[in-house]
Structure 1
């Protein structure tokens, strides 16, 4: 089993990075191989909407680090995708990654990696926000979960960490345990298949 984490935040060592890495830590403690990607360490440009990726075998015409991320997604059994809530939705960095996934999906939204006998792509979608109300952005979070399901990811968990105006997430011991448990649980779920 292979688990990758993607932090779609503008802060390299911020709350999103900590949350994603805690989930990965829970998987690592079960002896699972993990890999972490921070958007700021990648050179990923926005989609140009040219449709060249669907007009032949050339793939995306933009040659950047999205190819490296796609390769990791291909190998992964589980993807942990984390984003802060920014202006009531995922970060711009997260949207760039999602838009670039267009090259990997057919017009009916079936993923490039979805083949008969292919390993399913399980997803943990995590958000964090300053506001303490977990219901405040629920409609957007539900929409985003549904978008990933439409792309045929199996969304297993959607933890939303709230109230981050009161201090950094790494000072909350309850989250440390909860997030590591999510990483550990996704591993045990995978071993039962």
Structure 2
């Protein structure tokens, strides 16, 4: 099983990276192959809205590091998308990633929607400074629904709160819980090689 993490933050060693890496660690410990991408290491430009990706077979005409993610997605069973909440919604990096998915996945309401799209699984991992887990629930629910219209199966939506109160590295219970979620994503191979 292949699981890919996307850290939609410019902080390579920040809270979002910590969370995504713990989820991946749990998956790896249960036998998954994992890889991750961090926006701090990538040059990914916003969608131009040019529609070229749906006018021919060349895909997205923006040749940047998003091509690496498109390629990796072809072999990925589950994507873990780490989304810090800034100003009540996902980070700008998360929005750029989401918009650039249009080159491969049209929403159901789009005239380009293909009913035979491969359904991918996704974990939407949100984190916020505020301790109230329900504060941004309407936005988190909206984001989950949006990914469903892009033909993703939303597997889990962990929301890590209270990140303005001390270091995330000191929260041993959180480390354990995140690794457990990651481990739970791994489906045992039903036909192991003899």
Q: Same fold (TM over 0.5)?
A: yes
Aligned to 2:153: 154
Shift of 1:108: 4.8
Moved more, 106-115 or 169-178: 106-115
Map 1:54-69; keep pairs closer than 5 Å.
Answer: 54-69=54-69
Contact residue 23 and residue 178 of structure 2 kept, 8 A: yes
Q: Aligned Cα RMSD in Å?
A: 1.9
How far residue 111 of structure 1 moved from its aligned partner, in angstroms, is: 6.7
Give unpaired runs (5+ residues) of structure 1. Answer: none
CA distances 1:79-117 after superposition (whole Å, capped 9, x unpaired): 0000110010000011011111111123357479824xx
Change (3 A) 1:171 1:192: farther
**What corresponds to 2:174 in structure 1?**
175
Q: Which of these residues, 114, 118, 121, is aligned with residue 117 of structure 2?
A: 114
User: Which residue of structure 2 aligns with residue 33 of structure 1?
Assistant: 33
After TM superposition, the structure 1 = structure 2 runs for residues 102-141 of structure 1, keeping only pairs within 5 Å, are 102-106=102-106, 107-108=110-111, 110=113, 114-115=117-118, 120-141=119-140
Between structures 1 and 2, the one with greater helix share: 1
Instruction: Output the CA distance in 2 between the equivalents of 1:26 and 1:143.
Output: 27
**1:45 aligns to what?**
45
Partner in structure 2 of residue 7 of structure 1: 7
- Structure 1 residues 85 and 178: alpha-carbon distance in aligned structure 2, compared to 1, 3 A threshold: same
Asked if the contact 2:31–2:186 (Cα under 8 Å) also holds between the matched residues in 1, the reply is no
- Equivalent-residue separation in structure 1 for 2:4 and 2:116 (angstroms): 16
Instruction: Look up the match of 1:24.
Output: 24
Cα gap change, 1:78 to 1:55, in 2 (>3 Å): same
